[in-house]
Amino acid sequence: MKTEDVRRAYAMPLTNPAYPPGPYRFIDREYVIISYRTDPEALRAVVPEPLEIVEPIVKYEFIRMPDSTGFGDYTETGQVIPVRFAGEEGVYVHSMYLDDDAPIAGGREIWGFPKKLAFPKLAHEGEVIVGTLHYGSVLCATATMGYKHRTLDGSDIAASLAKPNFLVKVIPHVDASPRICELVRYHLEDITVKGAWSGPADLQLFRHVVADVARLPVLEVVSAVHFVADLTLGLGEVVHDYMNQE
C-alpha cells in the first residue's frame, strides 16, 4: 500500500473501516424526549465552558432509528442540556448509550459524540410508550409516556431540531496526553417532521458507576414529546479549541 493510499483513509481500521463515509440520512427516526428539572450544582459540574447553562433543565432522549444510512437499525438514549454559546441557543450533548458498533465508532471519531455501548430500548406497550436503558444486566433508566394524547405543531419540533448541537471531542495522543480537545458544533439538516405529540410522562434514573445518567437527578418532570422525523446528520465545525485557547 502506497503512502497516497494511506492518506486517503477516512476511518479505522485502515483497510476495512468500521463505517462508510457520509452523509448520514435517517428515515422514520422516532423520538421520546422527557424534559426534567435537575440540581443546578450537578448541572454546572458537567457543562464545560465556554457554554452557558440556560436553566437547570435536562432533556432525556430515547431515539429509535430503524433506517440509518451506513449505520443500519439501532436504538439510542442519553441526555442533552439546553445551553447558550456566544449568544446562540442550542443543546450540549452530555451522554449517549446505544447498541450498534458502527455509529459508536463513527460518532466518536468524526464529531466526538460521547457514545458508549449499552442496551437501550423503546417500545409501544398498549397505551404507553416505554423506554429503558440497561448497561449489561443493570437497569439504569426507565421512561414511560402516554401515547399520542395531544397533537403538536410539527414546525415547532423542526425548529427545535434545527438548533445547533454542541459536544466536546477528545482524542488522546499515543502517550495518553490530550492531543485533540475541541468544542464542536453541528446541525441536523433536511428535517421533515411526520407527526408530533405530547402527553403525560415519568422518568426514573438509577445510579451506575459507568452509565452515570443519575448524576443529573430528576427533581421534576417538566414536559414530554413524542415525534417521528426524517433528517440528515450534518458534519461539524470546531468552535473552540481547549488546547489553544489563545
121 annotated active-site = no
Interior angle at CA 246, CA 93 and CA 49, nearest 5 = 30
> Which of 59, 115, 121, 169 is flagged as catalytic?
115
Residue with cell 457514545: 115
Q: From CA 116, how far away is CA 104, in angstroms rounded? A: 7
Q: 9-20 as b/e, with b when 16 or more CB fall inside 10 Å?
A: eebeeeeebebe
Question: Helices in the chain by DSSP H: which ranges?
Answer: 3-6, 40-44, 101-106, 154-161
* Cα separation values, 143 from 64, 103, 203, 215, Å: 14, 23, 4, 17
Cα(201)–Cα(205) distance, integer angstroms: 14
Question: What's the CA dihedral at 9, 241, 183, 13 to 10 degrees?
Answer: 20
Question: Rg for the chain (alpha carbons), in Å?
Answer: 18
- Residues designated as active site: 115
